Amino acid sequence: MIRYIDLFAGIGGMRIGFENALKELGISGKAVFSSEVKPYAIDAYKNYFTDVPFGDITKIHESSIPDFDFLLAGFPCQAFSSAGRRLGFEDARGTLFFDVARILKAKRPIGFLLENVEGLVNHEKGNTLRRMIGILEGLGYTASWDVLDGKDFGLAQSRKRIYITGNLKGIDIRINDFIAKHTNLASIIDYGVTPKSTLFTEKLLSHYSIDDVIGKKIKDKRGGANNIHSWSFALKGYVSDEQKKLLSLLLKQRRNKKWADVYGIEWMDGMPLTLEMIAEFYKGNDLKSMLDDLVEKGYLVLEHPKKKEGSKRVYDKSLPKGYNIVTGKLSFEYSQILNPDDIAPTLVATDVLRLGVPVNGGIRPLTVREGLRLFGFPEQYDLNFLSPNLTFDLLGNTVCIPVVSYVSKCILEGMLKNEFDVIRAIA
């Protein structure tokens, strides 16, 4: 019997992955403790597993946690204090990683699996990860890590994450020896869920065929063949061919470093340009009236350039206003139309509902079931009692279950190799 705990549990993806590995290896297991702070994540966890996670792990003393053999934790990334230089246990104090470390120190489980964002590898030039590994090794664990991508484990989503493993048996666990298994979005799409026409999709599909928009991003910040601008399909109102030409020029020129010298400010990407500046690269007629029309319709904004003030950028009202492209991607109903023959980008909680799925000649958002499939959740996992916004907030921070299953199996096989050999010999 492997007893395990599930910290920063979310909706239980780590637990499901670990349980899958136990089942595949024929090992019995029992979750003896879990912890989560987000109320609707707790509701989802309870709905599937029936047991209720405890609350804030930072307020739970390690002595109140039952004894266990294995620790699971998809902990949030936090930087260590720059004042800490010894790379020891105390340097982690004040971070959520410290709570993982203090529980490992007190309870001495035989192994653990930690999951985090890929950015941890280079966080603070790699110092954060080095210090974490140093702390884990200082607690007596043989620790190692690797970055794995969900798309290589049969998921229709690219999602790179770091997996940190450790054990008390001195075994160097290798988790990068696998045969990639790939699929595409078509395998998880519910084609029976038909789209509802909206003003956005009506305008988009009145200017483009559905085949023309598949795989395209919709944003006004950048150009490129793989991008559609809002003015290309008159989302905010009619735009003449001459105005489209002007916007195309402005899109490029707002990144030109020479305008920072003209303003006398530090260069920033995407500066507003005054009428006089624009007149230097656009030689057509009625320039001001075209610009003002685009401002009125919401394609452009008239604003001051920004300057650095500490770590922030603020408007410099001492400088004249200029015309700038309105670039907020979350202002559009869809920021990208997915390609069923491809995979999804890494799902992020803030904009996952703005990924469009082309179905039956129309476009609709991802369904909750499709979102769950993109992480490998079982079909019986139910989140329909939550709103789509809450659901995708949870999914945007969850784990790739098939990857967790694979890594967990590697750890368990490595740690229990001798035990397995004895069992096989008896058999």
Alpha-carbon gap, residue 163 to 389, rounded angstroms: 28
Kindly provide the residue ranges of all beta strands, DSSP E only, lying in 273-359, ordered along the sequence: 300-303, 306-309, 312-315, 322-325, 336-337, 355-359
Instruction: Tell me: pLDDT of 424 over 70.
Output: no
Q: How much is the pLDDT for 92?
A: 67
- 167 pLDDT band, cuts 50/70/90, is very high
Over residues 377-391, the pLDDT tens digits come to: 999 999 999 998 899
pLDDT at 86 over 60: no
Percent of the chain with pLDDT over 70: 93
Q: Which residue type occupies 423? A: I
Query: Among the ranges 43-52, 122-131, 215-224, 257-266, which has the highest mean pLDDT value?
Result: 43-52
Q: What's the rounded mean pLDDT across residues 137-161?
A: 96
Report d(CA 169, CA 188) in Å as an integer: 40
Catalytic residue among 77, 268, 275, 302: 77
255, two tokens: 């990144």
Query: What confidence tier does 423 reach under pLDDT thresholds 50, 70, 90?
Result: very low
- For residue 300, what are the contacts with CB-CB under 8 A and spacing of at least 6? 247, 250, 291, 294, 323, 324, 325, 326
Q: Which residues pair with 309 in a beta bridge?
A: 312
CA distances 16 to 30, 153, 221, 251, 412, Å, are: 12, 15, 40, 47, 15
pLDDT digits (tens, 9 = 90+) for 319-328: 999 999 998 7
Amino acid at 232: S
Instruction: Say what the pLDDT of residue 84 is.
Output: 46
What would the pLDDT profile of 10-26 be if each residue is shown by its tens digit? Answer: 999 999 999 999 999 99
Local structure of 112: helix, strand or coil: strand
Stated pTM of the model: 0.88
338: nearest Cα among 375, 295, 367 = 367
Q: Identify whether the C-beta of residue 162 lies closer than 8 Å to the C-beta of residue 120.
A: yes
245-282 pLDDT per residue, tens: 999 999 999 999 999 899 988 888 889 999 999 999 99
Distance (Å, rounded) from C-alpha 190 to C-alpha 196?
15
One-letter identity of residue 167: N
Identify the pLDDT of residue 351: 83
Return the structure tokens found at 241. 């061919």
pLDDT at 427: 40
Residue 85 has pLDDT above 60, yes or no: no
Q: Is the separation of the CB atoms in 137 and 98 below 8 Å?
A: no
Q: Which of helix, strand or coil describes residue 215?
A: coil
At 417, which amino acid appears?
Answer: K
Read off the DSSP letter of residue 349: T
Scan for tokens 């598949």, then name that residue: 214
- Mean pLDDT of all residues belonging to the chain: 91
Q: How far is 210 from 95, CA to CA, in rounded Å?
A: 48
What is the band of 222 on the pLDDT scale with cuts at 50, 70, 90? confident
pLDDT: is 230 or 266 the higher one? 230
Provide the pLDDT for residue 12.
97
CB 308 within 8 A of CB 268: no
User: Coil, strand, or helix at residue 301?
Assistant: strand
| pLDDT beyond 70 at 329 | no
Least reliable range by pLDDT among 34-38, 61-65, 173-177: 173-177
Q: In the 8-state DSSP scheme, what is residue 201?
A: H
Residue 81 has pLDDT above 80, yes or no: no
Instruction: With CA atoms as reference, report the closest residue to 406 among 153, 112, 182, 75.
Output: 153
Annotation marks residue 77 as catalytic: yes
Measured distance CA(217)–CA(336) in Å, rounded: 4
E strand or H helix at 180? none
Distance in angstroms (rounded) separating the CA atoms of residues 121 and 77? 11
Q: What is the pLDDT of residue 156?
A: 97
β 355-359/336-337 pair status: parallel
Q: What is the pLDDT of residue 89?
A: 64
